[in-house]
């Protein structure tokens, strides 16, 4: 099993990209990544995407992007695990390099959601839930997460304000991110008074819907210095699943897929949560952030608000959470989100993150989730140059 490096990354701003097609958007991120390093070849492309079949009438996206980049006849195909697609694609790319089947593998995510904004995008995203036992009864992702948030506040007595404060922190981080969809600051009052989406979830508890593409380029660690002066190593990577519908879970306040994937990734990387300096977590909703930080081992159960108030999730605290602004502020182009996270952690560890830079970051972690924790992918990177 070869050790695997990320030697480059690229991304577009998350936005309403009405003037760019799916393939063009991917190409923009891919060219940014390819131009940063000295690579004479790409051997395979793994593309993550969830909604193109619904919203762009397009499948077979591996071929589409290989063709757009002039890279045919290389191996190229799509990986899908709902909002966890990017993490699953990264795991696939890792495996293709690690096995020795390919040397240089591009892992890229792309999503265009805003061409058909509104009901069509919401319905398409709902297909990450159980079509027969959840979607059929009118459930949306906001309403499913509202169940978790109510339960969390009931069991732990956490004040509503804590979730607003997390949104405030995410927007503060995102305001420094040139690739963020919502790069502006908010305050607690704005968050608390924003409109209801699914009680108790309000607008500023939710990730926005956006378009975007992100790319990372992988190769064996042993040859990484041939292609680039600076790179990171993927020390650990793992994926896990859970029951598709919430009704089958024993516990709504802990996501078994996060715990399993995180434990396996920590074990593979031979580290503990205390070794992690920086994370990009999957905060689809502010409640998802709270539960995920607990499941990842950065926070005792029910202590999310206490640690948040103490600054534990900011640089210099326990762990710097989502310097990109996370799904809340950077945005959530669903099938691409997991690759954005990997690109952002790489950028941080290489100290190329500009105003977002968290000083002295040696080890970073990505946490990418599909459904309401029905699949989770965790990866752990270390500065290697």
User: Which residues are marked as active site?
Assistant: 83, 332
Q: Residue 100 contacts by C-beta under 8 Å, 6 or more apart in sequence? A: 2, 220
Calpha distance 28→24 (Å, rounded): 6
User: Which CB, 288 or 361, lies closer to a second copy?
Assistant: 288
Calpha distance 85→156 (Å, rounded): 32
- Least separation in angstroms between residue 87's CB and a second copy is 9
User: Which CB, 165 or 242, lies closer to a second copy?
Assistant: 242
- Least separation in angstroms between residue 264's CB and a second copy is 9
Crossing angle of helices 85-98 and 334-349, in 10° steps, is: 60
Calpha distance 366→345 (Å, rounded): 7
User: Which CB, 25 or 44, lies closer to a second copy?
Assistant: 44
Number of residues that make up the chain: 385
Calpha distance 293→368 (Å, rounded): 12
- Least separation in angstroms between residue 53's CB and a second copy is 5
- Least separation in angstroms between residue 218's CB and a second copy is 12
- Least separation in angstroms between residue 240's CB and a second copy is 4
User: Which CB, 331 or 370, lies closer to a second copy?
Assistant: 370
- Least separation in angstroms between residue 1's CB and a second copy is 4
- Least separation in angstroms between residue 130's CB and a second copy is 7
Calpha distance 148→144 (Å, rounded): 7
**3 state DSSP class of 51:** coil
Residues contributing to the site for a second copy (CB under 8 A): 1-2, 21, 44, 50-51, 53-54, 56-64, 66-67, 71-82, 84-85, 88, 91-92, 94-96, 98-101, 124, 126-132, 135, 238-244, 248, 256-257, 260, 370-371, 374-375
| Contact by Cβ (8 Å): 10, 31 | yes
User: Which CB, 232 or 261, lies closer to a second copy?
Assistant: 261
User: Which CB, 59 or 187, lies closer to a second copy?
Assistant: 59
- Which is nearest to 284 in space by CA: 330, 339, 240, 239? 330
Place of tokens 């310097």: 323
User: Which CB, 194 or 243, lies closer to a second copy?
Assistant: 243
| Contact by Cβ (8 Å): 314, 360 | no
Calpha distance 252→191 (Å, rounded): 24
Calpha distance 5→94 (Å, rounded): 9
| Contact by Cβ (8 Å): 212, 327 | no
- Cα–Cα distance list, 194 to 204, 288, 328 (Å): 6, 19, 14
CA atoms within 13 A on the CB side of 149: 27
């Amino acid at each position: 099993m070869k050790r695997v490096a990320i030697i480059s990354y690229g991304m577009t701003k998350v936005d309403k990209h009405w003037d760019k097609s799916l393939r063009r958007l991917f190409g923009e991120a891919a060219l940014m990544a390819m131009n940063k390093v000295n690579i004479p070849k790409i051997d395979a492309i793994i593309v993550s995407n969830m909604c193109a079949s619904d919203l762009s009438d397009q499948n077979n996206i591996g071929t589409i992007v290989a063709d757009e980049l002039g890279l045919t006849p290389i191996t190229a195909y799509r990986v899908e695990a709902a909002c966890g697609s990017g993490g699953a694609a990264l795991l696939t790319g890792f495996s293709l390099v690690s096995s020795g089947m390919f040397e240089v593998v591009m892992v890229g995510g792309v999503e265009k959601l805003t061409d058909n904004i509104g009901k069509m995008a919401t319905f398409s995203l709902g297909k990450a839930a159980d079509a027969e036992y959840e979607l059929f009864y009118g459930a949306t992702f906001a309403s499913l997460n509202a169940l978790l948030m109510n339960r969390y506040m009931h069991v732990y007595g956490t004040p509503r304000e804590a979730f607003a404060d997390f949104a405030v922190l995410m927007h503060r981080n995102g305001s420094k991110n040139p690739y963020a969809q919502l790069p502006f600051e908010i305050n607690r009052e704005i968050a608390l008074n924003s409109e209801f989406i699914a009680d108790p979830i309000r607008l500023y508890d939710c990730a926005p819907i956006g378009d975007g593409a992100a790319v990372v380029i992988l190769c064996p660690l042993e040859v990484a210095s041939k292609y680039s002066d600076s790179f990171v190593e993927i020390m650990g990577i793992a994926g896990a699943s859970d029951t598709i519908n919430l009704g089958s879970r024993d516990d709504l306040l802990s996501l078994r897929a996060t715990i399993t994937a995180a434990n396996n990734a920590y074990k593979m990387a031979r580290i503990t949560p205390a070794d992690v300096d920086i994370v990009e977590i999957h905060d689809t909703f502010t409640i998802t952030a709270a539960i995920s930080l607990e499941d990842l081992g950065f926070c005792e159960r029910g202590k999310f608000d206490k640690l948040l108030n103490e600054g534990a999730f900011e640089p210099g605290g326990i762990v710097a959470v989502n310097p990109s602004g996370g799904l809340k502020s950077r945005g959530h182009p669903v099938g691409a989100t997991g690759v954005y996270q990997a690109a952002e952690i790489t950028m941080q560890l290489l100290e190329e993150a500009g105003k977002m830079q968290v000083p002295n970051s040696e080890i970073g972690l990505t946490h990418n989730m599909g459904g309401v924790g029905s699949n989770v992918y965790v990866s752990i990177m270390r500065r290697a140059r």
